């Protein structure tokens, strides 16, 4: 029984086929995004469902996402929140933020999602002040991979005891894998070694880290 590149490709497609059922709005979202000039770099549908499940396993009152793109993952996360829950999603590119806002409205979750415009490391201090410490039930990191360590340090005090930190691309990012020098190794080890968290990474797609804050 050997894991070949062909088998890996097959399993990635299989996971989307079996576990990635989408409604018509989500199924067409990234086609519309691509037609509008946005890059096709959203999470896959099976990872989207993972985000929904994980968010729904928390109290789901406050969620945070870094890297909105077209709003695809934001809509999955929003659907996992409590009815009065709120997702703050941070996006640096104005065109991406505009597009995401219209798709979030079309998905019927605009009341649960606020798109914050700006660079993640620039807006996080104000957001941390606004929300107060230990209030975020679910945080998803998916902006600049080389900034993950800084995101972790900024977001860590914002996460509630029992809250989840999830990060995409912790084994690879499009062009390179971690054994080829791709750079989230320091982030992975930092979270894994942090005594405030229990962390693991699943090899879904390009690697999804899941960490639960103790407490
Ligand atoms: C991989 S995409 C996010 C995909 C999205 N989470 C999804 O799965 O649907 C990364 C996004 O981060 C945005 N971005 C880049 N630098 C950023 C920064 N410093 N702060 C916040 N967002 C940034 C990019 O414009 C891009 O839209």
Taking the centre of ligand 1 as the mean of its atom positions, its distance from the CA of residue 71, in whole angstroms, is: 10
CA distance 93 to 106: 20
Lay out the sheet containing 197-202: strands in order across. Answer: 113-117, 86-91, 62-66, 136-141, 159-168, 208-213, 197-202
How confident is the model at residue 180, as a pLDDT? 87
pLDDT tens digits, 28-70: 999 999 999 999 999 999 999 999 999 999 999 999 999 999 9
Q: What domain count does the chain have? A: 1
Q: Domain holding 27: CATH number?
A: 3.40.50.150
Q: Is the pLDDT of residue 131 over 90?
A: yes
**Residue of minimum CA distance from atom 8 in ligand 1:** 42
pLDDT class of 117 with cuts at 50, 70, 90 = very high
Taking the centre of ligand 1 as the mean of its atom positions, its distance from the CA of residue 68, in whole angstroms, is: 5
Taking the centre of ligand 1 as the mean of its atom positions, its distance from the CA of residue 32, in whole angstroms, is: 17
Ligand 1 atom, smallest distance to 74 CA: 9
CA dihedral sign, ordered 129, 134, 139, 142: positive
DSSP H or E segment with residue 52: helix 45-56
Full residue range of the structural domain in which residue 42 is found: 5-213
Q: Which of 64, 89, 91 to mutate to test the pocket of ligand 1 (most atoms within 8 A of CB)?
A: 91
pLDDT tens digits, 78-114: 999 999 999 999 999 999 999 999 999 999 999 999 9
**Residue of minimum CA distance from atom 4 in ligand 1:** 42
pLDDT tens digits, 137-169: 999 999 999 999 999 999 999 999 999 999 999
């Amino acid at each position: 029984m050997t894991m070949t590149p062909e088998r890996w490709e097959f399993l990635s497609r299989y996971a989307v086929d079996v576990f990635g059922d989408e409604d018509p709005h989500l199924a067409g979202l990234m086609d519309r995004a691509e037609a509008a000039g946005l890059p096709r770099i959203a999470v896959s549908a099976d990872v989207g469902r993972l985000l929904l499940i994980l968010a729904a396993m928390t109290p789901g009152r406050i969620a945070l996402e870094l890297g909105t793109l077209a709003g695809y993952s934001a809509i999955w996360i929003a659907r996992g929140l409590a009815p009065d829950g709120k997702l703050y999603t941070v996006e640096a590119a104005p065109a991406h933020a505009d597009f995401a806002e219209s798709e979030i409205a079309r998905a019927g979750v605009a009341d649960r999602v606020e798109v914050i415009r700006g660079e993640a490391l620039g807006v996080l201090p104000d957001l941390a002040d606004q929300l107060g410490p230990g209030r975020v039930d679910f945080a998803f990191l998916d902006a600049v991979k080389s900034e993950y360590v800084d995101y972790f340090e900024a977001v860590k005090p914002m996460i509630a005891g029992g809250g989840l930190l999830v990060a995409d691309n912790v084994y690879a990012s499009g062009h390179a894998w971690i054994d080829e020098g791709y750079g989230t190794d320091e982030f992975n080890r930092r979270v894994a070694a942090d005594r405030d968290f229990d962390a693991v990474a699943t090899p879904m797609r390009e690697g999804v880290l899941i960490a639960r804050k103790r407490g």
